[in-house]
Amino acid sequence: MNTQEARETVTQVLHRIAPDIDVEELADDAAIRDELELDSLDFLTFVEQLSKASGRRIEESDYDVLATKATCIAFLSAT
């Protein structure tokens, strides 16, 4: 997955998780959980949907990497 595809995937999943938030306005380096007020269950849903949408398995040990849009994009676009 290239960077643009990863960005689109992250944006689409965040729209599903927080439909009332303008995800495009969320800075790439903003903490997703804090800015979108995601509790643990919401974050787990985000990770599951991100995994499904990207076709990439996301391990629990990877959760810390998924802190911001930028780190999510980097994670998904890494080979």
- Give the domain ranges of the chain: 3-77
* DSSP category for residue 63: G
Burial class (CB in 10 A: 0-12, 13-18, 19+), 61: exposed
Let me know if domain 3-77 sits in CATH 1.10.357.10.
no
Question: pLDDT tens, 2-24?
Answer: 999 999 999 999 999 988 888 88
Spatial distance between the Cα atoms of 33 and 35, rounded to a whole number of angstroms: 6
**What pLDDT is stored for residue 22 in this prediction?**
86
With a CB cutoff of 8 Å and minimum separation 6, the contacts of 57 are 51
Residue found by looking up tokens 């930028």 in the block: 70
**What pLDDT is stored for residue 30 in this prediction?**
94
